[in-house]
Structure 1
Amino acid sequence: MKFLEESILPPPTDQRLKSFERACRVELPSEFHDLLKTYHGATPITNVFHGKGREFLIERLLCLLEDPASDETHGWYDIEVVLSQIDTRLTDDENLVGANVIPFASLFAGDFVCLDLRNQGKQSVVVWLHEESEDFNPVFLNVAGSLSEFFSMLSE
């Protein structure tokens, strides 16, 4: 997997990661932490992948900024900003407190690649299809069983 070096943002602090996990009431896998620490907000060079007979184009990985409102360039790509805009469209449980589907990459045309933790913390990677989803009725395509499997799809 290759990324434009100049697009990689300074990594989030451990405190910022823990704050995000507390807010979402989730414990993210170490692989997700590593992704944010290594390729924070980066634009992939190899950015096309396939899932369920569809082709998807990654615009950029999302980030966790200290103050998204003060960053006009990257603020819209902050994971918490994205979650605040689409959270009711990512869950089918209106009583859920926190998050169990975490977007980590924006796709061309408004969809997102997400880490899915709904299966008792067992991770998988899904594409959230925004045009097909409604509040509390999300539509996902399962594309990989783990983050490493997903990123290996970008190396092909």
Structure 2
Amino acid sequence: MKNLDLKKKVSVTHDELYSLEIFFNITLPISYREFILEFNGASPEEAIIRINSEERVLERFLIVSEDEKLDSGLMQYEIKVVMAQIEERLTANEDLVGAETLPFAYLFGGDFLCLDFKEDAINPKVVIWDHNESEELSPVFYKAFDNFQKFLNAMSFS
């Protein structure tokens, strides 16, 4: 992985990550767990990601936190808060318990990078959730990377 020049915004514990897994009924990939333990809520100066021959700007990684006193400016980027706002637009299954896709990063323009657990619960692929095209119970995703580690390998920070 390249030098990311990122600084963690919010501390996170293994227990908080486990709590997130229980809450959404998922198992986080090891590469994501390690990344978020080091860079929870980080916002790079400028992160350009090449996805399917298109360059996208990553604005910030979402936050995993159970701290109710988290600054409101940061709280809007906490994963459970983001999910509460868009969850009906992230799945076509209205009876879903937990999550099929979990947003982990905010892209310039309002889209999110998500871990997609639908086909592989252990090694989810990374997809872009298109906020403009998605509607309630009718999400639109575009495959970005085969897994989180390949996403990390593709990031270029300048």
TM over 0.5: yes
Q: Secondary structure at the match of 2:80?
A: helix
Provide the residue aligned with 2:47 in structure 1: 47
Provide the residue aligned with 2:155 in structure 1: 154
| Contact 1:56-1:107 within 8 A present in 2 as well | yes
Q: Secondary structure at the match of 1:18?
A: helix
Between the aligned partners of 1:139 and 1:91, the Cα distance in structure 2 is: 9
Q: CA deviation at 1:46?
A: 5.0
Query: Is 1:134 aligned to residue 135 of structure 2?
Result: yes
Between the aligned partners of 1:33 and 1:9, the Cα distance in structure 2 is: 16
Q: CA deviation at 1:51?
A: 2.1
Matches within 5 A, 1:20-39: 20-39=20-39
Q: How many residues align?
A: 155
Provide the residue aligned with 2:95 in structure 1: 95
Percent of aligned pairs with the same amino acid: 34
Q: CA deviation at 1:21?
A: 0.9
| Contact 2:48-2:156 within 8 A present in 1 as well | no
Structure 1: 4+ residue segments shifted above 4 A = none
Using structure 1 for the length normalisation, give the TM-score: 0.90
| Contact 1:2-1:45 within 8 A present in 2 as well | no
Q: CA deviation at 1:52?
A: 3.1
Runs (5+) with no aligned partner, structure 1: none
| Contact 2:61-2:105 within 8 A present in 1 as well | yes
**Cα distance per residue 1:86-131 (max 9 Å; x no partner):** 0011111111110020111001111001111110414100010000
